Amino acid sequence: PAQTPLAGQHVLVTSGPTHEPIDPVRYIANRSSGAQGTAIAAALLALGARVTFVTGPAEVSPPAGADIVRVETAAQMRAAVQAALPADAAVFAAAVADWHVDGAGASKIKKVAGQIPQLHLRENPDILAEVGHMTQGRPTLVVGFAAETDDVITHATAKRLRKGADWIVANDVRPETGIMGGAENEVTLITESGTETLPRMSKTDVAAALARRIATVLTKDDA
Ligand code: C5P
């Protein structure tokens, strides 16, 4: 088989956390190093894809060779994703904050003894669900992630349908697994035709396995 089966294909990858400002110096965020998303982008590049890499403020450096779009908030990530489409496949590895602070302003909230500020949160757009449910110009393959602590497969299977994703890559992020922030991952791939649990391995190897499967789907119709 060709060494660069994804040559000529455009794949969009989101990665990292988003930061939602409370004021100019404070923010709300999810825990995410960006390691798995970065590894996936690198694996797709290695198979010859053109990769647009939309990343929040991650700990790891973005992959060399990708078209890198740096964002901070979920709203910015959504705009960057929309601007990057069309794509043949889209992989949503980012840990997007579920809420942003309504009315976050340009001045720092002053600390006043005895006065606790009340934050009013509003829901963020679900970027994966928006792309998953596109009726025109939808990527051929839409892949989401599900980081769960309980009933991993049940929740991830429901998430696949709710978000309109073709695949959900589910993982168990209970602290005792050491997966969050660590070098290894153990994932279950949930597709229309069932579930497949891959052995625990490095995030690099998980990325390579996913990229190979993505290439299989995207090259299926080729002569
Ligand atoms: O609902 P939950 O956050 O667990 O879903 C995780 C999946 O959805 C991930 O693929 C994540 O990148 C994506 N997501 C998104 N936009 C959001 C929330 C999650 O794209 N606002």
3-state secondary structure string, 45-112? HHCCCEEEEEECCCCCCCCCCCEEEECCCHHHHHHHHHHHCCCCEEEECCECCCEEECCCCCCCCCCE
The verdict on whether 124 is a catalytic residue reads: no
Binding positions for CTP are 98, 108, 125-128, 145, 159, 163
Full-model pTM:
0.95
**What pLDDT is recorded for position 221?**
67
Q: Whose CA is nearest to atom 17 of ligand 1?
A: 126
Q: What is the pLDDT of residues 138-165, one digit of tens each?
A: 999 999 999 888 999 999 999 999 999 9
**What pLDDT is recorded for position 219?**
94
Ligand 1 center from residue 172 Cα (angstroms)? 15
List ligand 1's pocket residues with C-beta within 6 A: 14, 74, 92, 94, 96, 124-128, 144-146, 159
> What is the Rg, in whole angstroms, of the alpha carbon atoms belonging to the chain?
18
Going from N- to C-terminal start, the domains of the chain cover 10-100+120-218
pLDDT confidence bin for 182, thresholds 50/70/90: confident
The DSSP letter of residue 9 is -
| Active-site option among 30, 124, 171, 185 | 30
Is domain 10-100+120-218 given the CATH code 3.40.50.300 in the classification? no
Q: What is the ipTM of this complex?
A: 0.96
